């Protein structure tokens, strides 16, 4: 309890001071703590805090994974692994979630390899061995997706490319849809957030009121200063409609996910429901449906791929 009592004494000041001066001092220090605390939290969400780390392709018994490097149109260098084996008419591009890297997708690459699908997984900018320091919730990562799709079309001419995203990866795929148009044959998107404000609220709402609101508005304020673009642009709900109406979409949601609510994914689904299906998995883990219910997740993914083939 000593640190707590020290903090109280520091905020209150000497007992002999007038009450108004002690209250003013307490208010000033409380605002300072709020300002610095929410700034640090926002920095942790939007900045890479470590240098790129090597991601050597692992030795796996089911194929030989090859290291690839991609150059994006805005000057980033993106690392990836590719499995070239498979004679299916589609090739799958895996896009990981925030804080993860392409290694997250090894189980699904293995599963699709057994079904004769070639695939590639990349590590987004500011993740893994890729370059970049800023993470803007997938908005700039759309360039990583575009570079990867362009590479796959060059390596597998005449084959369709299907995007499989998780959280951040799903959002990046949605942001890229406008420029990719029919270069993508299908989308399989787990837990894409609806808009940035909702995503921030979901992460601060666990704090008891009124501190949740203080954290929310503090992070929104800092976001305007730390993000390279207007935060109002970071809204997948405004971009998902750019996916062509003849391109099939599967949206996957965890029913009790607190970081990406079911209603968010439902809102996105309603924008494209003429050519989409919604799969809801009973789980409370964010971005982990492939782990919590792999049989249903994999079945839904294979169903989309077979639908694309026909």
> Using 50, 70 and 90 to split pLDDT, how confident is the model at 10?
low
> Using 50, 70 and 90 to split pLDDT, how confident is the model at 42?
confident
> Using 50, 70 and 90 to split pLDDT, how confident is the model at 184?
very high
Query: What is the model's pTM?
Result: 0.90
Residue ranges covered by each domain of the chain: 1-46+196-229, 66-195+234-309
Alpha helices for the chain (secondary structure H): 2-12, 19-46, 106-114, 142-155, 168-180, 196-204, 211-226, 262-271, 289-292, 294-309
In contact, 191 and 263? CB cutoff 8 Å: no
66-195+234-309 has which CATH code?
3.40.50.1820
The pLDDT of residue 9 is 57
**What is the separation of C-alpha 175 from the centre of its chain, rounded to a whole number of angstroms?**
11
Mean pLDDT of the chain: 92
**pLDDT greater than 70 at residue 16:** no
The pLDDT of residue 224 is 86
Mean pLDDT, range 32-60, rounded to an integer:
90
For 250-286, give one letter per residue: b (16+ CB within 10 A) or e.
bbbbbeebebbbeebbebbbebbeeebebbebebeeb
């Amino acid at each position: 309890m000593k640190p707590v009592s020290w903090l109280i004494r520091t905020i209150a000041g000497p007992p002999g001071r007038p009450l108004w001066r002690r209250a003013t001092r307490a208010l000033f220090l409380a605002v300072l703590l709020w300002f610095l605390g929410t700034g640090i939290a926002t920095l942790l969400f939007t900045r890479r805090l470590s240098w790129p780390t090597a991601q050597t392709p692992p030795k796996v018994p089911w194929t030989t994974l090859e290291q690839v490097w991609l150059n994006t149109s805005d000057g980033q260098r993106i690392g990836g692994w590719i499995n070239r084996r498979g004679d299916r008419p589609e090739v799958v591009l895996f896009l990981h979630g925030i804080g993860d890297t392409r290694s997250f997708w090894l189980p699904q690459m293995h599963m699709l390899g057994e079904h004769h699908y070639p695939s590639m997984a990349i590590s987004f900018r500011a993740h893994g061995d890729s370059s970049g320091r800023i993470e803007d919730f997938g908005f700039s990562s759309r360039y990583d997706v575009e570079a990867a799709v362009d590479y796959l079309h060059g390596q597998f001419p005449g084959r369709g490319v299907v995007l499989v995203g998780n959280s951040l990866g799903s959002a990046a795929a949605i942001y890229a849809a406008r420029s990719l148009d029919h270069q993508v044959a299908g989308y399989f998107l787990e837990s894409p957030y609806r808009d940035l404000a909702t995503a921030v609220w979901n992460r601060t709402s666990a704090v008891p009121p009124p501190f949740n609101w203080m954290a929310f508005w503090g992070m929104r304020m800092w976001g305007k200063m730390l993000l390279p673009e207007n935060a109002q642009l970071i809204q997948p709900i405004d971009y998902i409609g750019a996916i062509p109406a003849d391109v099939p979409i599967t949206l996957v949601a965890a029913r009790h996910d607190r970081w990406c609510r079911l209603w968010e994914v439902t809102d996105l689904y309603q924008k494209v429901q003429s050519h989409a299906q919604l799969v809801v998995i009973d789980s409370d883990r964010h971005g982990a449906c492939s782990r919590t219910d792999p049989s249903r997740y994999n079945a839904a993914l294979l169903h989309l791929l077979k639908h694309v083939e026909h």
